[in-house]
Amino acid sequence: MRSALHREIWTRMADEEGLADDAERLLPHAQPCFVVGSQTPGMGPIGASRLGGVPDLPSALAWPTQGDRHLTFVAQIDLGALTPEWVDGLPSSGWLYFFVGRDAPAWDVTHRVLYFDGPRDALSATTVPSGTRAIDDGSPRDFVAHQLTFRPSFVFDRAIETALGLEEFALEFLTASHTQIAGLPVAWDTDPRQDAYLSKSGLASLRHRMHLAPEDLAKAARDAWAAGDDERAEEIDLATELLRAYRADEAMHLDRMARWRVLFLLGSAREVGMCWWDAGLLQFLVHDDDMRQRRFDGTYCCVSSS
Please give the chain's pLDDT, 306 residues, in tens. Answer: 689 999 999 999 999 888 899 999 999 999 999 999 999 999 999 999 999 999 999 999 999 999 899 999 999 999 999 999 999 999 999 999 999 998 888 889 999 999 999 999 999 999 999 989 888 755 447 799 999 999 999 998 878 888 888 887 778 777 666 899 999 998 877 889 999 999 999 999 998 999 999 999 999 999 999 999 999 999 999 999 999 999 999 999 999 999 999 999 999 988 999 989 887 899 999 999 999 999 999 999 999 886
Q: Where are the beta strands (DSSP E) in 31-179?
A: 31-41, 50-51, 56-58, 65-66, 69-70, 72-78, 95-100, 111-116, 123-125, 133-134, 146-155
The torsion angle over the Cα atoms of residues 58, 60, 65 and 71, rounded to 10 degrees, is: -30
Q: Is the dihedral of CA 41, 47, 48, 52 positive or negative?
A: positive
Number of helices and strands (H, E) in the chain?
A: 8, 15
Q: How far is the C-alpha of 180 from the C-alpha of 185, rounded, in Å?
A: 10
Q: How far is the C-alpha of 135 from the C-alpha of 133, rounded, in Å?
A: 6
Q: In what order do the strands lie in the sheet with 95-100?
A: 111-116, 95-100, 72-78, 50-51, 146-155, 31-41, 180-182, 260-267, 281-287, 300-304
5 φ/ψ sector (left φ>0, alpha ψ -120 to 50, else beta): alpha
Q: How far is the C-alpha of 179 from the C-alpha of 150, rounded, in Å?
A: 10
- Residue 18 confidence (pLDDT): 87
- The residue length of the chain stands at 306
From the centroid of its chain, how far is CA 43?
23
pTM recorded for the entire structure: 0.92
- Residue 251 confidence (pLDDT): 96
8 Å CB contact between 57 and 124: yes
- Residue 1 confidence (pLDDT): 64
Q: How far is the C-alpha of 79 from the C-alpha of 95, rounded, in Å?
A: 6
Side-chain-side CA neighbours of residue 130 (13 Å): 0
